[in-house]
Amino acid sequence: MSAFEKLVRKRAYIKGRVTSINRWIQTCVISESTKHEIDTFLSALDRHLKDFSQIQDQIDEQDGLSADEQQKERGDFEDGHLKTESSLRLLQARTRAAQQATAAAAPSNAAQRSESSNTPTTASVKLPEIKLTPFDGEWENWLTFKNIFTELIQNNVRLNDTQRFYYLKSYITQEDSASSLQTLIDGVRRNYHALRALKQPVDKWDAFLTYHITTKLDAASRKEIESKAPTDRIQTFEEIMTVLEERVRVLEAIATSARAKPERSSKAFVATSKVTCGICQAEHSVFKCKKLTDLPVNQRITAARKLNLCINCLGSSHRAIDCKSGGCRICQRRHHTLLHLKTNALESPTQPNAIDTKDASSNGSKQEANVSSSTTTCNLNVRSEPKVKQVLLATAIIKIYDSSGQEHLARALLDECSQNSFLTTRMYQTLQLKGRRVNLQ
């Protein structure tokens, strides 16, 4: 027997093992041992796929063989392997749901059998307390939820339709979620690139992938895909991914706009007060006092400090460090124009200065609000604004694939407000990406 014939016989043996698993699935009756048998078959399928790939690689190296025929052999086996694994996963979910339903339904059935009459009655006073894990929208949890809900609530003769509907609404917790759809997209792309890295013909699986992806979507997402499907051909994998990613962006935009913004409390206060000069006790501002303007500059400074006035605006309600008015009109420093010294040495007023009092008073008047009478009305608007001194950004360890499909671990800095995404030069070189220069201005 030649080496080629031995390889063909080994390949046929592996194909026969997969066929045997398929026959077992078709005749399987769920029992206590079914779960362990499914786990064993799933492990065996992984080994069969690995062994088949090695044997087929050796056959492909033989001379005189049709490449198309060998490629068909590989594709047929991989398709059968995927269908068998999908059937096992589905049977595994049904087995888990049946076991949970059996365990949960036992108390309910016993309570129903203890009823003195078979005539349905209505719980009119208080709905019975039924503890059931809410359905969170994950497709792998649907079958379990459906079976348990049917056993405990749908088939409960003590409940009417209104009460059953009440329970159903209370156990549905999730709505359209962009994050859930994004998780599905990420999982599909991750598995797609993993299969491509294993040199699987995923480019020829558009119909297969389309079917399996759409079965996991909600009705609105499926409608979105159907509305954008071409009429003359089957949608490709990338076209479906593009539609789903666009839907994620729409859902995120809707969620952002619907998110209520905190209202800012706004209050208005009105107060009236008389302006009294601290030097002559007349009803005018200090910087308009003729007694002050007639004094030399160094005596003006002394008088302002004696009255504990603000050196910057000559006001009495605050300190110079808290003053919001502008500085000197002559030197732009933090003191009133009436207190300007030619030496700019406000702290050591040793030299008299005779600047133009009229100009200083005029400049000083520009620094202050115009006061037309002895009584002023002040309107103060206060808004409570939250002060955020620092922002902490979240990070995450992510899996990222390079141009050849190889997986790498990286740390991502997550900023929801960022309009651009960035990549370090080191990661760019590691992923072997092709880039082009752009102008960000």
What are the tens digits of pLDDT across the range 309-320? 888 888 877 777
Q: What is the pLDDT at residue 141?
A: 74
- Band of residue 265 on the pLDDT scale cut at 50, 70, 90: low
* CATH architecture of the domain with residue range 3-101: Up-down Bundle (1.20)
Q: Taking a C-beta distance cutoff of 8 angstroms, is the pair 235, 213 a contact?
A: no
Averaged over 231-248, what is the pLDDT? 86
Q: pLDDT at residue 171 above 70?
A: yes
138-142, 284-288, 300-304, 326-330: the lowest-pLDDT one = 138-142
- Band of residue 127 on the pLDDT scale cut at 50, 70, 90: low
Averaged over 350-360, what is the pLDDT? 43
Q: What is the pLDDT at residue 218?
A: 77
Q: Please, what is the average pLDDT of the chain?
A: 75
Structure tokens belonging to residue 47: 């080994």
- Band of residue 123 on the pLDDT scale cut at 50, 70, 90: very low
Q: What is the pLDDT at residue 361?
A: 46
pLDDT in tens, 271-305: 455 677 878 888 888 788 888 888 888 888 888 88
- Band of residue 370 on the pLDDT scale cut at 50, 70, 90: very low
Nearest to 147 by CA among 94, 212, 107, 191: 94
Averaged over 116-137, what is the pLDDT? 56
Highest mean pLDDT among 18-27, 213-222, 253-262, 358-367: 18-27
The amino acid present at 326, given as its one-letter code, is G
Domain ranges of the chain: 3-101, 178-256, 286-339, 392-414+424-432
